[in-house]
């Protein structure tokens, strides 16, 4: 099976690439903006015609889109998430190879949800910020494209390679600095937020399963369990061997770390993952403690 992977050098894309390369039946080609890609191509500025010619030359059976941006202004997010996806869809429609599309979306497309609820794929999306809006627009383009396509709405990915600027990455960095400086107290705010953390390696397994399935439409990828950041801090302290105390303060101020979530999803988000189980045969395997231990190992290397 020939697979074209877009965004292979990103946080999710790297693990998707590893998963696909472990499958002897897969012949993988990586396309991206960086020099270490098999083919350099910027989806946000490249033309659909140029991408169509490349598709016809490679003739993949599956195209996996992990490309995009998570930070930046509305214009930049629209260019990298929405316009880039429009280019992919148009190129695939023009191509003669008729490949399947696996598009990686995100839970920020849903926006805020009721505490205690599990968000299913039939929930009405109400994104609360430019990132979620740009990703939702990309999903709508995929669903309206007429292609053989599936969108995986990934909830809060965690594990090795977690960006240092993400909430879990900032928590690990705060703990690293406290231990490096010999502090016996760590002051944090915003720990009441609850998210459905799913390990990035489990996400890669879901992408692999989606590429082999006939399922279409939107499928949530999460664990089905929301975890309070306060609980994640406790697990992180345990795996790090942090002997000090963690104090939560109501509001961030000078000297207080705030692992804020800029995803526009409020205090609570939890996935309903029954569709992934029923249609992809997928279940998460890696627990949050293992994910946090791997995040900590990377942070500890900076001591």
Nearest to 222 by CA among 297, 280, 266: 280
| 31 alpha carbon, distance to own chain's centre | 18
Low-confidence ranges of the chain (pLDDT < 70): 251-262, 302-303
Catalytic residue among 15, 110, 131, 261: 131
* Predicted local confidence at residue 33, as pLDDT: 82
Strands 185-189 and 217-221: unpaired
- Asked whether 157 and 199 are in contact (CB, 8 A), the reply is yes
Write down the pTM of the prediction. 0.94
269-293: burial string, b at 16+ Cβ within 10 Å, e else: bbbbbebbeebbebebebebebbbb
148-170: burial string, b at 16+ Cβ within 10 Å, e else: ebbbbbbbbbbbbbbeeebbbbb
* Predicted local confidence at residue 150, as pLDDT: 98
* Predicted local confidence at residue 87, as pLDDT: 97
* Predicted local confidence at residue 301, as pLDDT: 83
* Predicted local confidence at residue 221, as pLDDT: 99
* Predicted local confidence at residue 35, as pLDDT: 75
Among this protein's residues, is 131 annotated catalytic? Answer: yes
| CA gap 72, 156 in Å, rounded | 19
- Asked whether 106 and 265 are in contact (CB, 8 A), the reply is no
* Predicted local confidence at residue 302, as pLDDT: 67
The mean predicted confidence, pLDDT, of the chain is 93
* Predicted local confidence at residue 225, as pLDDT: 98
């Amino acid at each position: 099976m020939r697979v074209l992977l877009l965004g292979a050098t990103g946080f999710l894309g790297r693990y998707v690439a590893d998963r696909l390369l472990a499958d002897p039946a897969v012949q993988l080609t990586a396309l991206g903006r960086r020099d270490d890609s098999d083919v350099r191509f910027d989806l946000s500025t490249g033309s659909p015609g140029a991408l169509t010619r490349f598709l016809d030359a490679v003739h993949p059976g599956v195209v996996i889109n992990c490309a995009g941006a998570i930070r930046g202004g509305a214009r930049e997010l629209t260019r990298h998430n929405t316009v880039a996806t429009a280019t992919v869809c148009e190129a695939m429609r023009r191509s003669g190879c008729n490949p399947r599309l696996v598009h990686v979306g995100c839970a920020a497309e849903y926006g805020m949800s009721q505490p205690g609820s599990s968000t299913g794929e039939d929930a009405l999306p109400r994104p609360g910020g430019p990132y979620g809006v740009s990703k939702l627009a990309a999903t709508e383009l995929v669903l309206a494209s007429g292609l053989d396509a599936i969108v995986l709405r990934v909830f809060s990915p965690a594990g090795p390679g977690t960006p240092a600027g993400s909430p879990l990455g900032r928590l690990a960095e705060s703990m690293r600095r406290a231990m490096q400086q010999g502090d016996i107290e760590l002051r944090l705010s915003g720990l009441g937020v609850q998210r459905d953390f799913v390990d990035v390696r489990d996400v890669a397994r879901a992408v692999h399963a989606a590429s082999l399935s006939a399922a279409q439409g939107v499928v949530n990828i999460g664990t089905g369990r929301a975890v309070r950041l306060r609980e994640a801090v406790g697990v992180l302290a345990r795996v790090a061997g942090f002997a000090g105390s963690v104090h939560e303060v109501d509001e961030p101020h000078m000297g207080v770390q705030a692992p804020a979530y800029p995803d526009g999803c409020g205090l609570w988000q939890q996935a309903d993952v029954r569709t992934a189980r029923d249609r992809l045969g997928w279940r998460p395997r890696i627990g949050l403690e293992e994910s946090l231990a791997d995040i900590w190992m990377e942070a500890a290397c900076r001591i």
